[in-house]
Structure 1
Amino acid sequence: MRMKLAATAAIALATLPITANAEGEVNIYSYRQAYLLEPLLNAFEKETGIESNVVFAKKGLAERLEREGRNSPADVVMTVDISRINELVERDLVQGVSTETLEKNIPENLRHPEGKWYALTTRGRLIFTSRDRVEEGEITTYEELADPKWEDRICTRSGKHPYNIALFSSMIAHHGEAETEKWLAGLKNNLARKPQGGDRDQIKAIAEGVCDVSIGNSYYYGNMLQDENQRPIAEQVRLVFPNAEGRGTHVNISGIALTKSAPNKEEAIKLMEFLSSPEAQRIYAEANTEYPANPAVKPSGLVAEWGEIHPDDLPLHTIAENRNAAVKMVDRVDYNGE
């Protein structure tokens, strides 16, 4: 396989060469890490003969696309989080694509209504609880995070992080802004410390006794269990799939979008269709302990062991529409303050 990979910080993006208009190639700008893409693109080339060129970055790809304009060599963008992929739509950097294969493989609530992005995997925004200090079933919903019984017992990362903003946006969709703001203020009052770190750090904080409850993406827990050094930490928490008996657990996505420039449009669409296929969905989901977006593909490995997830079927584009309101709400309740 001759996948070409360039990994870079955003500051160096403009200097990275990538071949455009090459026959039998597809050019990918990616926020997803190289090790997650390699097995997928190996399989794609084996099936189609189409080679892949990848530029990886932690940030700055939307800005690069804007600078490059119609001369951009990028065919697709692969990204994580609904807000990041929706940013591409808001900046008018992607185009709609609709094929029978994509619409068959990806459910309506996991794709843009005009085909401007498609989910490839999903991850639940779960509640983690101490196995020692919280009884099983003691908390079962997001709403209960604001219950005063959890005062000084909850840890989270920044309220401004896209993963939390997406959760807060979903709460706005379900409860309206006024009720959600009361809930968010209650959650803030229950924090054991100022929001900090990432999702794994919240699990570590539970293990260290700093707090008893946290919020995090399911795949972080899975990755910790697969790490020999972090497994003992992860084993000290219990997974809770919030609202499983009601509207369902909030999920976020990794996804793909076709750029407006797309010099290799035909090859790019073939890649999008391949990534939605059962074969690719199994590879992609297993690589990062995520859930397949294609409902015909069942979770496997660790993810299957956790039990069935009942995802909230709220359309993700609705969550994206509430993003700005959620960001302002975080500021109003001073969520990240002392």
Structure 2
Amino acid sequence: MSRRLNAADVGHLCTGAMFVACTIDHESSKQYRDMTLALIELQGGGPVLAPVGSLDPAAMTTSIGFVNQGLMFSEMIPVGDEFETAIALLQERLGVPLQGVFPLAAASVNAMVAVSVALQTGLPLVDADPMGRVFPLVSQTTLALAGLSAGPIALTGPTGETAVVDVFAPARAERIVRALASELGGWAATASYPVTAAQLGAHGVVGSITRLIEIGQILDSSLHTQQKYVRLTSLLGIRKVIRARVTDVEGLSRPSVPGLPDRPSSATLVDEAQGRIVRLEIQNEILMMIVDGAIQAVIPDVITLVRPEDASVAGLDDLWVGNKLDLITFPAAAQWYTAAGRALVEPMAMNVVGPVRGGRAR
């Protein structure tokens, strides 16, 4: 059943969105949270969160998300109408009205952007997305796995310049959109993957917005840290929690593989309970966790960080020598554990650490 989100829901959603996307820049998520809360107060109500099944199966929907190329959103803050412009351009190209929006990734800033856009436009926020976590590439979606087109894609840059790209193949869309984002000024607000509600329900990660809110409700509560972990385990199927102290952080000199994110790095931590050596391989997010030389979690698994004193969400900037953190892993959406899903995302991790033999990294 559809419902209108309130201010508390938005706050919890932001916490959940940051938890499932361990990144450097959590500030953008908080900025959009605060913008949305101010708009809710001004308008007297939040956006409508609509289950996929509540929409007409033929209703056209679109994903909403930022694509950036080197420029962080906090360096050139959006004016606020970029996504409305992109939606209008996409509707014009499609020749039919859009009847719902969903985040390109139900995680990090793109989850919060979709909430804000739904409130601004009056369109329902559809309770689904095509990633179920965050991946860095536009082509890494469950809709792409299903053979659906990424385009047409409408883009608006920070200077107000726009483009509409007629492209089918998601991999090709990734290259073109990324290049356009660079030319438009460093980032682009995009409306992509125009699909019907029936297609989104069949091939998307359904209920992902509600899951973020539920995660946030747990983490924002006054429960003890261990009680929070018990509830998160029930909700997410947490596989491992390791409390460890950072002993080393290094930026790697090797170049990034073409077409993959920049800034490869790694962090070494020591497990406080058992003395195990934990290594995190990072490339804009945590791609792999290795414990005493054996891989314990690897993308598409979600690997994230929280502060042990209260289970508040931590980020990659909390990986400084001497800091103590809880490392948490849990499975991503089921689509990513199919042969096709693994083939689309696992090469990111393999290109960071090299071939894997017998469960150990070389």
Q: TM-score, normalised by structure 2?
A: 0.27
The structure, 1 or 2, with the larger RCO (C-alpha pairs under 8 Å, 6+ apart) is 1
Structure with greater helix percent: 1
